[in-house]
Amino acid sequence: MALAGDGPLVVLIHGFPESWYSWRHQIPALVNAGYRVAAPDVRGYGGSDKPHAIAAYAIKDMSADIGGLIEALGAEQAVVVGHDWGAPIAYGTALFHPERVRAVAGLSVPHLGRGPVPIVELLRKMFKDRFFYQLYFQEPGVAEAELEADVRRSLRKIYTSIRVENPTGPGFLDRLADPERLPFWLTAADLDYFAGQFQDSGFRGPLNRYRNSERDFAQLAAVDGKLIEQPTAFLAGSLDHVLRMIPGVDMIELMRKQVADLRHVQLIEGAGHWLQQERPVDVNAALLSFLNGLAGDGHQRARLGRSS
């Protein structure tokens, strides 16, 4: 975990397949603005615990980790910010542990609520006999073997592919183009760091998050119909595939129905899925605007600051 700064606590939650390092551009900007920043490796990644059981990666457990981290750091509350899978964990923390969350921000993945059926069931109906990566990830051991065969190549393809090269390839990576060069936002040293993390941790824990759709659905029944009451922000790239995952559905409008105080929404033109790495200046400005705006709500410094 990266921990730096002194002031109101902000917890940054990464997604798949990343680590705390995906927030490398945000940590110094937030610290310089007077915030204390914690960017953990979430359960199953990097330096964090890696339980074997699939059930250990359900949304209540992942959210409890963040609530426990806030308490362990001596803060009464924190602002939680999540990207990709980190966004649902941030939303889950706000719902299951509202006393620990002052405000919440999601990047790339909007909050859509529980829904009528588990997400995996919806995906099976949508894609039927067609390939979809989240369905491919369901069988334990299959995707692990593919991704762990050459970790650096796997991450390079996932981070940089903007097109499907071989739609009939047998595996996930077979379908992704391998770039001739890395994008401007990812250096060889960055890729080496990410690869080193997964060489040590493997992919089972990260993939287990995808294998909890039915369990998440059952656990979220306890907060079904409950709005996120805390001030909320949502950021995404205009080119992010996630926002177009369900054809004809405006996911941001759906999010507005699940959040009581969605006070900041921003689509960053020309950006893709790896938003805080691709466009750090824009993301930092948006986060700081959102965070600084909370001061007007009163008691921010007292409630987010360390209690010790």
pLDDT at residue 307, rounded to an integer: 33
Catalytic residue among 14, 83, 84, 282: 84
Q: Which two tokens stand for residue 231?
A: 């001030």
For the chain, which residues make up each domain, given as ranges?
Answer: 2-116+213-304, 120-210
Which distant-in-sequence residues (6+ apart) come within 8 Å of 238 by Cβ?
A: 267, 268, 269, 270, 271
Which distant-in-sequence residues (6+ apart) come within 8 Å of 156 by Cβ?
A: 178, 179, 182, 191
**CATH code assigned to 2-116+213-304:** 3.40.50.1820
229: left (phi over 0), alpha (psi -120 to 50) or beta: alpha
What predicted TM-score, i.e. pTM, was given to this entire model?
0.94
Residue 111 bears catalytic tag = no
Closest CA to 157 of 168, 142, 146, 145: 146
Residue 273 bears catalytic tag = yes
At 14, the amino acid letter reads H
Catalytic residue among 83, 97, 111, 273: 273
156: left (phi over 0), alpha (psi -120 to 50) or beta: alpha
Per-residue pLDDT of the chain (308 residues; tens, 9 = 90+): 999 999 999 999 999 999 999 999 999 999 999 999 999 999 999 999 999 999 999 999 999 999 999 999 999 999 999 999 999 999 999 999 999 999 999 999 999 999 999 999 999 999 998 899 999 999 999 999 999 999 999 999 999 975 555 677 789 998 998 888 999 999 999 999 999 999 989 999 999 999 999 999 999 999 999 999 999 999 999 999 999 888 888 999 999 999 999 999 999 999 999 999 999 999 999 999 999 999 867 544 444 444 33
Q: Which two tokens stand for residue 144?
A: 């692990």
In whole angstroms, what is the distance from residue 150 CA to residue 152 CA? 6
DSSP 249: -
